[in-house]
Chains A and B, each alone.
Chain A
Amino acid sequence: MSSFSRCAACKYLRRKCPQDCILAPYFPSSNPQRFACVHKIFGASNVTKMLQQVPVHLRAEAAECISYEAIARVQDPVYGCVGIITQLQQQIIQIHSEIMKIKGDIITHHSAHPQHQPLPPPQGDPCRSISIHQQEQDNFQSDEHPFGNF
């Protein structure tokens, strides 16, 4: 790549952008702020090492995720992506709680009004609901959270 069309990384670092620049495919000059965030959080050297450790066909995804993490950390310097994870976990707990409450209400209603129990769905119904019990087993499978599970 000529000096007139340097990638965002090489522009930011004020260096020549070689033809085999590893960062060029993932940090185009059209989005300089994206690399600025990545450089601030990870550093150009670390990002280069991280991308080199990943197979070429997965580098775009890796660069995208690294950029996302860097931007999240710039926006929230204390919690970064972990703040988003925490928010989602709390949302899961809240929705799960609502489902359990409604299930309880349904069971109570059916006990009081057995004649109002719904008919089973027709055979081969593609919209049959997922078993909530099965989802309960899968809901909280996640990595160890730095601030404990809620």
Chain B
Amino acid sequence: MGGSSGSSPCASCKLLRRRCSKDCVFAPYFPPHDPHKFAIVHKVFGASNLCKMLQELPVNQRGDAVSSLVYEANARVRDPVYGCVGTISYLQNQVSQLQLQLAAAQAEVLSMQMHQKPHLVEQDSDMSSLWAGDNLNSISHYIAVASNLSATVIQDPLKRESFST
């Protein structure tokens, strides 16, 4: 019986109970000492689909593809409803919160600069009204000013889906 090591079949051929040929697509990525790795990918994607996906890729990209597929398969087994989309939502939320904090910090810097150079306020008639009276100490006005200055666009990855109607 052939295989990547020359003696023992790879984890995929062991699970599928077939002969592990010398040119087995799975052998380089599913060594016999880690049967769980192939088992989980097979459970979620199926050996046939996995084989097709790997065959469509250049050899030098197959290692990364297998790693990402294993990650996604693990995420889906751990969370059968959301899978790794749950992780994406969580990280997106983190990005949004951090961008709010960044805007607040930028607004505070702007406030400091205005304290140092108050004559700059008069140059921009749109902004001068924001700095009237007690508004200087209001964080909500800090955010309004920062949002006028920084044009950070949050691209929602869930809106990248181009197939939904």
Contacts and interface: CB of A to CB of B under 8 A. Distances in A.
Chain B interface, DSSP helix/strand/loop, else mixed: helix
B133 interface: no
Contact of A30 (B88, B106, B165): B165
B97 A129 contact: no
A58 B82 CA distance: 10
Contacts of A58: 81
A45 B53 CA distance: 17
Contacts of B8: none
Contacts of B106: 102
Contacts, number: 181
Contacts of B80: 50, 53-54, 62
Contact of B164 (A34, A98, A130): A34
Interface string A129-150: 1101001001100110111000
B84 A82 contact: yes
Given A41-B49, A68-B158, A129-B101, A80 B69 contact: yes
A130 B65 contact: no
Nearest to B45: A42
Interface in B73-119: 74-76, 78, 80-88, 90-92, 94-95, 97-102, 104-106, 108-109, 111-112, 115-116
Interface of B: 44-46, 48-49, 53, 56-57, 61, 64-65, 67-72, 74-76, 78, 80-88, 90-92, 94-95, 97-102, 104-106, 108-109, 111-112, 115-116, 136-140, 143, 157-158, 160-165
